[in-house]
Amino acid sequence: MRSTSVPRWRSDYSAVDDLAAGALVTRYVLVSERSVSAQVIRELSERVAPVPTRTVIVDDGAGSGFGGFGGLGELLSEARIGWRFVVAGPERMVGAVRARLISAGALPAEIAAIIDPDAPVRDVFCAHCHTTSPSVPVAIGGRTPCAGCSAELTVYYHYSRRHSAYLGYRADSEELP
């Protein structure tokens, strides 16, 4: 599609380099899910050295507020100007953590998102009952049942950064009277 709100996440580390461009960075916070290897975390830490770095490992409990994000809420209470955030992991976790960071006051330019391109699941927000179906193994353009109203949803090329989910609409909505 020519026009889409699907994020253009990167799967390489070049997103980290953009964070430091022209800015005085005083601390990096590396946020990753447990599935991210220690090697990846080490490579990211080396990439931002010698700037002080904190690492936060989160569970994939995206719906449980900052408590599900392994102490991220506590760390954010200490955050200051000059901090940058690197979020690495599956798309659904990266989107959820990014949304939480922004709601806590971080600017999008202060966050680098690095996704695992092999993670095949995504959250789908139903436009009809406003329920988010978590961890759905579906491609964009594919169909899945809604966890709330059981309607067959088409996963659209629209990503809500606030909900950290793709828009789903009834597959037969254009045929309804």
Nearest 5°: phi and psi at 110?
-95, 5
Q: Tell whether 166 and 83 lie within a shared domain.
A: no
- Give the mean pLDDT of the chain: 82
Among 80, 98, 115, which residue terminates a domain?
115
Indicate whether 30 belongs to any domain: yes
SS3 state of residue 96: helix
Q: How many domains does the chain have?
A: 2
Q: Which of 69, 100, 115 is the last residue of a domain?
A: 115
Residues 91 and 25 reside in one and the same domain: yes
Residues 88 and 22 reside in one and the same domain: yes
| Predicted pLDDT of residue 63 | 45
* 101 plus 131 within the same structural domain: no
Same domain, yes or no, for 90 and 136?
no
> Within this chain, do residues 18 and 76 fall inside the same structural domain, yes or no?
yes
Domain for residue 175, yes or no? no
pLDDT at 73: 79
pLDDT above 90: residue 152: yes
Question: Which is more confident, 133 or 162?
Answer: 133
Task: Based on the fold, state whether residues 83 and 20 are members of the same structural domain.
Answer: yes
Q: What pLDDT was estimated at residue 21? A: 63
Q: What is the arithmetic mean of pLDDT over 32-48?
A: 85
Q: Is the pLDDT of residue 119 over 80?
A: no
| Mean pLDDT across 111-118 | 82
What are the residues whose beta carbons fall under 8 Å from the beta carbon of 53, sequence distance 6 or more?
Answer: 27, 28, 29, 30, 45
Residue 2 forms part of a structural domain: no
Is residue 110 situated within a structural domain? yes
Average pLDDT over residues 49-63: 76
Residue 84 sits in the same domain as residue 65: yes
| Whether residue 48 is found in the same domain as residue 110 | yes
CATH number of the domain encompassing residue 59: 3.40.50.1970
Summarised one tens digit per residue, pLDDT across range 77-108 is 888 888 999 999 888 888 888 888 988 888 98
pLDDT of residue 66: 46
Indicate whether 5 belongs to any domain. no
Q: For residue 27, give its domain range.
A: 14-115
Structure confidence at residue 37 (pLDDT): 82
